[in-house]
Amino acid sequence: MNRTPRWPVVLFDFDGTLLNTIDGIVASYTHAWRTVSGREVTRADILPWIGRTLEDVFADEDAANAAELEAAYMEHNVATLAAGIKKYDGVSELVHQMVDAGIRTGVVTSKRRRTAIPAMKLAGLPEETVLACAMEDTNRHKPDPTPLLTGLAVLDAPAAGSLYVGDAIFDLQAAAAAGMDGIGVTWGAGTPDELQAQPHIAIVDTVAELSGYVLG
């Protein structure tokens, strides 16, 4: 017997949630800092930045050179996009199963459209999974709820009864601020303890666990 999905609308973060882009992000941040200012940053420095926009991170870290840092990051990231990613086993299949079950799916990401669109194709997402909101679509960014509310508007869906899935504390904070349910995944940038400290319906360690929540 077919079951009604718990959430008819599910939005996803992208980096570290639907596709393992973490190594590529780290490499691009490292390149940008090294070439523009000679600053050496570590993976531990970079992971807490993931989930925020490049504009916000560079403005906070080095406002005087923010534009040049972002340009250097983007040039490196676009050139190395395909080489800097790995698929998470089972994620693409789960999103296809969700679409087949009648769940409307979309991506709300801090990536720019020029990298988000090809990355979504590399992730093997179904055509029905739309890019509901990218970095340049709003003036406010996670943890502000505006990107999630913008994505919901694209899908003509209410916040109540919708779900956002992400790997960073900013994702869960934004979901709570938007009035959405939030599920954190531990295979990306956030640590389990950090995610557990945020508002959430669940924190999951495996795709099978996530499937159990969204498909039953």
Six token digits for residue 36: 């523009």
87 touches 123 (CB < 8 A): yes
Q: Which two tokens stand for residue 208?
A: 């099978």
Residues 6+ apart with CB under 8 A from 41: 29, 30, 33
Q: Which residues contact 187 (CB under 8 A, 6 or more apart)?
A: 16, 20, 88, 167, 205, 206
**Long-range pairs, 95-98, Cβ under 8 A, ≥24:** 95/12, 95/18, 95/125, 95/126, 95/129, 96/126, 97/211, 97/215, 98/5, 98/10, 98/214, 98/215
Q: With residue 170 as reference, give the H or E element that holds it.
A: helix 169-178
From 139, 135, 113, select the one nearest 54 (Cα to Cα): 135
Q: Which two tokens stand for residue 65?
A: 């050179």
13 belongs to the catalytic site: yes
Sign of the torsion formed by the C-alpha atoms of 209, 210, 213 and 216: negative
Active site residues: 13
